[in-house]
């Protein structure tokens, strides 16, 4: 029986007049296979063009991973879990909840997924799952499976899908993509990394009422650093070189984070720089940071274009440390503020621009005076804004190297600086470089 025969019969019954059956079948196939409508949507549209209405069901289309596209909003699938992790999120205006995310695979490829309404479902690497009514979105030019409130995800017997061998029967199953840490933000899906563990802590977390071991910290290779979360305990320690055989990238606190299961890591004999060398900031461009979505301990050479309002002397709430507006904290109302010094600047390196936040210690060093001295000068002038003006005069057009953690969100890049260096430029060398560029 043709897979469309039942649906064609339902359309003909609803239309209730002499219509060419082959024409209906041709239209249905075209809408489903070319325009990627669901069968239900296609049936409803065809019936309407013939002056009739049809009650549709919410049947999803069965697909392989390689067949997915962002027009799919009602897809059924059979997949095997390659990587999975649980995470607590707090949607805006809602209570915290646990979601599942990771990587799924079938004989045609791999794809990241998120299950937004997991309920009591618990998954592990190797589980076979049946997915119904999923929808597809795109992130970094790669499809993502989403199982929402109308979707379903259920464990099946593992015999329902064979284990993947090599590249799969279709030849397009994607093994883990081996990449350097600087390339992680550009990578998609299944990631493999060789790096040295710089910091690590082991803790227990409560996930859906069950205590689980989690290892987290930072790892590095010669191209950069990344934070990681390892679900479960592995026999590794700080300073060791490891290989992550199958990891998954996610955003955490505005920066890329590598997630993987303890069963997916092993010790590595690959030659890597020592910890002391890897602990140093890595110099990158702002364009690179924008492309990869943030970075731990980056260094950027550039020029300060602006010192924004809100820089200079500020007063903070002694309870929550928020900056006060006319002695008012938006949480604790009117309070006596604690003085502080900060700089909110714009840094440009020729490839892009980003906001940088310089704390009291860095701001004092750049100004060449302490917070107490700034307070005395402002009090004498009866104007706190003079410190902003001094920062502006001192820093704008100043070539600098700024180091720190860079986050990325809908407002762009922002670096929380951990250190700065004033660049001493050689005018003659700069003229030579400019002449070479012009030639």
Q: Are residues 142 and 263 in the same domain?
A: no
**What distance in Å separates the CA atoms of residue 377 and residue 370, rounded to the nearest whole number?**
11
**What distance in Å separates the CA atoms of residue 286 and residue 303, rounded to the nearest whole number?**
12
pLDDT higher than threshold 60 for residue 41: yes
Q: Are residues 288 and 420 in the same domain?
A: yes
What is the rounded end-to-end Cα distance, in angstroms, of the chain? Answer: 72
Name which residue leads in pLDDT, 51 or 429: 51
Query: Which residues in 8-21 are b (16+ Cβ under 10 Å) and which e?
Result: bebbbebbeeeeee
Q: What is the pLDDT of residue 188?
A: 57
* Count of structural domains within the chain: 4
Range of the domain at 318: 283-427
> Which residues have CB under 8 Å from 159's CB, separation 6+?
none
Does residue 82 sit within a domain? yes
Name which residue leads in pLDDT, 354 or 207: 354
Compute the average pLDDT of residues 214-224.
93
Q: What is the pLDDT of residue 371?
A: 95
Compute the average pLDDT of residues 406-421.
89
List the one residue out of 182, 228, 208 whose CA is nearest residue 87. 208
Which pLDDT tens digit goes with each residue over 13-24? 887 667 888 888
pLDDT higher than threshold 60 for residue 93: yes
Which pLDDT tens digit goes with each residue over 58-83? 567 888 888 888 778 888 999 988 87
Does residue 378 sit within a domain? yes
Query: What's the chain's Rg over C-alpha atoms?
Result: 28
pTM over 0.75: no
Q: Are residues 311 and 413 in the same domain?
A: yes
List the one residue out of 110, 111, 245 whose CA is nearest residue 172. 110
List the one residue out of 259, 248, 299, 271 whose CA is nearest residue 419. 299
For residues 318, 322, 328 and 329, what is the CA-based torsion angle, rounded to 10 degrees?
Answer: -90
Name which residue leads in pLDDT, 162 or 361: 361
Query: Which residues in 43-56 are b (16+ Cβ under 10 Å) and which e?
Result: bbbbbeebebebeb
Which pLDDT tens digit goes with each residue over 366-399? 999 999 999 999 999 999 899 999 999 999 999 9
Which pLDDT tens digit goes with each residue over 269-326? 999 999 999 999 999 999 999 888 889 999 999 999 999 988 999 999 999 999 988 8
Does residue 167 sit within a domain? no
Q: What is the pLDDT of residue 17?
A: 65
Q: Are residues 221 and 336 in the same domain?
A: no
Q: pLDDT over 90 for what percent of the chain?
A: 40
> Which residues have CB under 8 Å from 124's CB, separation 6+?
81, 84
Q: Are residues 181 and 151 in the same domain?
A: no
pLDDT higher than threshold 50 for residue 11: yes
pLDDT higher than threshold 80 for residue 168: no
Q: Are residues 155 and 264 in the same domain?
A: no
- 354 membership: H or E segment, kind and range: strand 353-358
pLDDT higher than threshold 50 for residue 96: yes
Does residue 355 sit within a domain? yes
Does residue 245 sit within a domain? yes
Q: What is the pLDDT of residue 434?
A: 47
Q: What is the pLDDT of residue 159?
A: 86
Q: What is the pLDDT of residue 315?
A: 93
Q: From start to end of 169-326, where are the E strands?
A: 177-178, 190-207, 210-221, 224-231, 241-252, 255-261, 265-267, 282-283, 295-307, 312-316
Does residue 148 sit within a domain? yes
Q: Are residues 89 and 50 in the same domain?
A: no
CA separation, residue 278 to residues 12, 223, 226, 306 (Å): 69, 9, 12, 32
**What distance in Å separates the CA atoms of residue 299 and residue 71, rounded to the nearest whole number?**
41
SS3 9: helix
To the nearest 10 degrees (0 to 180), the angle between helices 21-29 and 5-15 is: 120
Does residue 29 sit within a domain? yes
Specify the DSSP class assigned to residue 320. Answer: T
Which pLDDT tens digit goes with each residue over 234-275? 889 999 999 998 888 777 777 888 888 888 889 999 999 999
**What distance in Å separates the CA atoms of residue 108 and residue 214, rounded to the nearest whole number?**
32
**What distance in Å separates the CA atoms of residue 195 and residue 222, rounded to the nearest whole number?**
9
pLDDT band at residue 186 under the 50/70/90 scheme:
low
Does residue 439 sit within a domain? no
Which pLDDT tens digit goes with each residue over 344-375? 999 999 999 999 999 999 999 999 999 999 99
**CATH number of residue 412's parent domain:** 2.40.50.140
Contact 424, 398 (CB under 8 A): no
Q: Are residues 248 and 369 in the same domain?
A: no
Compute the average pLDDT of residues 170-196.
73
Q: Please identify which residue in the block is written with the tokens 């070539």.
A: 399
Specify the DSSP class assigned to residue 216. Answer: E
Q: What is the pLDDT of residue 227?
A: 92
Q: Are residues 255 and 299 in the same domain?
A: no
Contact 77, 63 (CB under 8 A): yes
Name which residue leads in pLDDT, 251 or 149: 149
Q: What is the pLDDT of residue 58?
A: 59
To the nearest 10 degrees (0 to 180), the angle between helices 385-395 and 371-381 is: 120
Which pLDDT tens digit goes with each residue over 105-139? 888 877 888 999 888 888 888 899 999 999 988 77
Burial label, 237 (beta-carbon count in 10 A; 0-12, 13-18, 19+): exposed
């Amino acid at each position: 029986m043709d897979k469309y025969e039942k649906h064609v019969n339902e359309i003909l019954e609803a239309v209730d007049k002499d219509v060419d059956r082959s024409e209906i079948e041709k239209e249905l196939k075209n809408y489903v296979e070319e325009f990627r409508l669901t069968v239900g949507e296609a049936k409803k549209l065809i019936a309407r063009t013939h002056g009739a209405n049809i009650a549709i069901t919410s049947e999803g289309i069965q697909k392989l991973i390689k067949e997915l596209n962002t027009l799919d909003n009602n897809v059924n699938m059979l997949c095997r879990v390659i990587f999975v992790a649980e995470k607590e999120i707090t949607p805006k205006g809602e209570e915290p909840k646990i979601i599942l995310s990771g990587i799924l695979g079938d004989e045609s490829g791999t794809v990241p997924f998120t299950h937004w309404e997991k309920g009591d479902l618990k998954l592990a690497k190797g589980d076979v799952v049946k997915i119904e009514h999923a929808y597809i979105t795109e992130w970094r030019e790669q499809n993502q499976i989403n199982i929402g409130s109308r979707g379903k995800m259920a464990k099946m017997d593992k015999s329902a899908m064979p284990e993947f061998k090599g590249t799969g029967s279709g030849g397009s199953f994607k093994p883990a993509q081996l990449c350097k840490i600087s390339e992680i933000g550009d990578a998609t899906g299944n990631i493999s990394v060789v790096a040295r563990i710089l910091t690590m802590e082991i803790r227990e977390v409560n996930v859906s009422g069950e205590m689980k071991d989690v290892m987290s910290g930072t790892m590095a290779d010669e191209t950069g650093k990344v934070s990681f979360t390892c679900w479960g305990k592995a026999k590794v320690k700080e300073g060791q070189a490891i290989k992550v055989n199958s990891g998954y990238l996610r955003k955490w606190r505005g920066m890329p984070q590598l997630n993987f299961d303890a069963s997916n890591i092993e010790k590595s004999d690959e030659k890597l720089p020592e910890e002391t060398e890897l602990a140093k900031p890595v110099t990158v461009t702002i364009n690179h940071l924008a492309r990869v979505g943030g970075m731990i301990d980056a260094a950027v050479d550039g020029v300060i274009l602006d010192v924004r309002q809100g820089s200079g002397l500020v007063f903070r709430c002694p309870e929550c440390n928020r900056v006060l507006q006319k002695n008012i904290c938006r949480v604790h109302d009117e309070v006596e503020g604690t003085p502080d010094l900060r700089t909110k600047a714009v840094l440009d390196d020729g490839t892009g621009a980003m906001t940088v936040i310089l704390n009291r210690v860095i701001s004092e060093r750049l100004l060449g005076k302490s917070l107490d001295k700034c307070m005395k000068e402002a009090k004498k002038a009866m104007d706190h804004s003079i410190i902003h003006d001094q920062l502006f005069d001192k820093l704008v057009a100043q070539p600098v190297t700024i180091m720190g953690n860079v986050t990325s969100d809908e407002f762009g890049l922002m670096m929380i600086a951990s250190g700065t260096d004033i660049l001493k430029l050689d005018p003659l060398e700069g003229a030579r470089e400019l002449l070479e560029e012009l030639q």
